Each structure stands twice: as C-alpha cells, then as structure tokens.
Amino acid sequence: MSTPTLLEPPRPARSSCRPLEPRRCTPPRRSAGPPATEWWWSPRTLAAIPRSARGFAASVVRAEQYGGDVNWDQLVQGVELPFHPDLKVPALTEVTLPVPRPDAVADVQQSAHDDIVARFAAHVTPGMTVAVGAGSRGITRRVELLRGTISGLRELGAEPFVVPAMGSHGGATAEGQRAMLETLGMTEEAIGAEIRATMDTVEVARTPSGMPLYLDRHAAGADRILPVNRIKPHTCFKGPVESGVTKMAVVGFGKQPGAAQIHACGPVEMRNRILDGIAALKATGRVLGGVASIESAAGDVAVVRALTGDEVGAQAEIDLNDVARKLVPALPFPQIDVLIVEKGGKDISGTTMDPNVTGRFSVHGLADLSEPDVSTIVLLGITPISGGNVLGIGFADFIPVSVAQQIDWKKTYINCFTAGIAGVRRSRMPMVLPTEDDCVKAALSMCGRAFDQPKRVVRIESTLHLTRCWVSDPLLAELPPGAEIVE
C-alpha cells in the first residue's frame, strides 16, 4: 500500500482501488437551511461529508448555538467571546520613562541648507538637475528638511525637483504616492519644488551578481539623485547601514521592481543586496549624496547631516546608523503579558508597529528579541496617513472592528507581496473583536495567566516616540532607574 499524501486519508489495501483524487469544491455559502453535504476537501471515493462535521465545516458555528454562521460578514462586525465573569481589567498607572535626550536641532531647515552648501559646493555645477527623494515615513520636521535641501541646492545653482522615493507604497501607483506625500504635508507649495511622480522605471546599473538597479523614469533623467531620509534601525534586517539614505537610493527610487527584488530574499541576503546595490549605483556617478536626519525617542530631530556621494553607504552613514540605534526607544520590562498600542501606521513604522520596540519581527530567518518578551499585543488604532496600508498588522493579536474597517487589503497585500519573505507573516489577520475593551479582555484571557492571576500590562501611545507608558501594578516594582510615576 502506498503512503497516503496530506490530501488522502489512510485506506485499506485493495487491488482494484483507484487512486484517490482530491477535489476542491466551491466554498460553502451562508444558508438558512440545514447543513449542506457538499465537500470542502475529500477524496472522490469517500462518502459525502456534511460541512458541519469535518474540515471547513468544523469552523461553522450552528445558528442555534451562537445566532448565526461564522462568516466574513460576522468577522468584520467583530466576534463576541465568552469572557470569564470574574475577569478584571487592571488599573494602569502613568509612568515617565528615562530616554536619551540629545539636544534638538534648533532650525532644521537652515541646518539642511547650510550643510548642503558647505559640503556640496565642489560637486554641484550650475544647471545640474537633481532628483530629490522624499519618502512615506512620518519623519519629524520632514517639510523643513526638504525645504532646506531644495534651497541649498538652488543656492549652488542646481535645478532640483522632488520624486516620491517609496518603493511600492501608496498602492504602487503614481497618484497614490503623490497623495501620500501630500497627506504628509509635502506639497509643491510647502517644499518649494515641483513633484514628479511615476511608477515607470529605468535600469541604470547591475551589481557583480547581475542584480539590476532601477531608478524611476524622472530620477533616471536627472543628472543626479539625492535621497533625503531618516536613519534608524530597519525592521527586516541587521547590517552596517539599515534604514536611511542608502536604502532609499537602492529601494525607494527603484519603485515596485526595485523594492521587490531586494525584499524577495531573506534578511542576510537583503543586507548584502543593499550594500552591493549602493556600490553599483555610486559607480554610475548618479548619486550626488544624501541628507540624513536622526530622531530622539522624544521625537526631536537630533541630527541633520548632508553626506557626499562617497559617504553614502560608507563609514559616515555607518556611524550615523550606530548613533540612531542608541536612540531607539525601548520598553524597559523583560516580560509583558499584554502590550496595548494605541496607534500604529506608516508614519510610525513601515511595519505599522516597530519590531525593534515590541521585540516581534515575524520574519523567517530573523530572530525575535529576547527582551521584551511580549505574550499578546492589542492594536487599538491606525493613523489616517497610512491610507489603510497595514503591513505589519500580523504583529497584533487583537484589533477592534474600528481598525478592521479601515484596512485597505489591496494596498496592504501589494506592500506585503513586495516585501517578500518579510511580508508573509506580517500580513496575517489578528482576531477581530467588537470593541477595544473586548480586545483587552481577550488578551488578558489568552496571555497565559489564569483570570485570577495578576497581569503584567503595558499601554503605549505608539512605538515611535516612547517617553511615557501606563503599567499595571506588578510592573511598578520593576521600573528602571530614572522612571517616575505621574501623580
């Protein structure tokens, strides 16, 4: 007897037995009548199996038990759960956290302008066209950063314009990317330059391994490109340079195909492709340099730095990446039963919530952090700027209906698909419950502690700027030095 496949149940040996062929049938529709007897997955030689008994049918809840079939309509309305009547939601205490607070840059626009003029004077010639890259992140003082960059280039005689350098974000359409810039306040009037948006790309170089490098059509037609981006640790890989001007040059300017080929591989290969890509792109002479900013955990701009073409992807950017890593906000508790995040979104992290804060990376080949060890995560809201794109929604375990109704699955799935292996687990659907209170109760019920045991609960506004949080009583004894209870 042959070994049964995953689609074939074990069967007795029969000399005349015809091979069992699986058949996929139309998914069952909601019906007010008795359970149908069509198959979901079953071999043709087996008897018809009622849906209510096996396979798909096991997920169907009979009307007489819970008032209706569980289907997509009910899911997006939120499923009510039978919480223990004695379950208590713990009171939370507000706490300020000790975070590094470097001096803030007093005038971001002037700082960018002055650094451009000082460092690029020998590299810019009158009439040189420069495609300045603007991204989809909620960078602090982003408009001032772009205005200073534009004015500095103009003072040197260049002719700058702005292109959305954001890979596949904005639904992978030119209109969507322009709209995302405008939502972030980066209009032509605000930044003082023309915005040219397209998803058309041109191959401009290849790495030694044969990987093509793309620029969008407008950027490829310019004399030089100049990415303007915040430097911070990446959410998918670790390396000497992560999120910053190098990544925007290789990935953001390359639009959907540029982003897809980088993200298609695992974390180690992703890092290598970005480093190889910037080397090949710089060899073309197209990279004028970059303008980088670094933010503190309090949300202030701590650093504004213009990098020459030679410094992009080299030691100068590596040093900035090290500075940025030290300023990443951290949850100072090794074990958290329930983490409640008030809002996530593209302007907070490309993955809705920053895994460098939550500890969850959810990428094959990239280990989660050992601390904080978070049992359950509740996400209560997404920012309007996200436009329904919630790559990273899979980090959450519970969301209320109000969040589920805002999700644009087309944008989300395109972004997840482009992210390759990094988008697989991050696109998974959390449990959808009617209210925020239901989500918190579900997390408390499923975090691994009995209903009558104390729970270690933390509530934060977002993973971007973490200067305060709210904690349950068991964590008050574990506050780090410098933390203060708000009376």
Strand 212-216 and strand 201-206: the pairing is antiparallel
Average pLDDT over residues 182-196: 95
Q: Decide: 81 and 435 in contact? Cβ < 8 Å.
A: no
Residue 69 has a pLDDT of 53
Estimate the crossing angle of helix 108-120 against helix 142-155, to 10 degrees.
30
- Structure tokens given for 212: 């093509």
How far, in Å, CA of 80 to CA of 84, rounded?
13
Estimate the crossing angle of helix 255-263 against helix 409-418, to 10 degrees.
60
How far, in Å, CA of 170 to CA of 252, rounded?
12
Residue 361's pLDDT band (cuts 50, 70, 90):
confident
- Structure tokens given for 88: 């208590």
Task: Give the domain ranges of the chain.
Answer: 93-99+329-485, 108-326
The closest of 283, 227, 284 to 251, measured between CA atoms, is 227
- Other Cβ atoms closer than 10 A to 405: 12
For residue 373, pLDDT over 70 is answered with yes
pLDDT higher for 241 or 47? 241
**Pick from 1-5, 283-287, 297-301, 311-315: least confident:** 1-5
Note the pTM of the prediction, 2 decimals.
0.74
pLDDT higher for 297 or 482? 482
How far, in Å, CA of 233 to CA of 314, rounded?
16
**Pick from 72-81, 188-197, 276-285: least confident:** 72-81
* CATH level 2 (architecture), domain 108-326: 3-Layer(aba) Sandwich (3.40)
Alpha carbon of residue 262 to chain centroid: 15
| HSE-CB for 17 with a 13 A CA cutoff | 15
For residue 52, pLDDT over 50 is answered with no
How far, in Å, CA of 322 to CA of 335, rounded?
26
Residues linked to residue 229 through DSSP beta bridges, in sequence order: 292
For the ranges 72-76, 119-123, 418-422, the maximum mean pLDDT occurs at 119-123
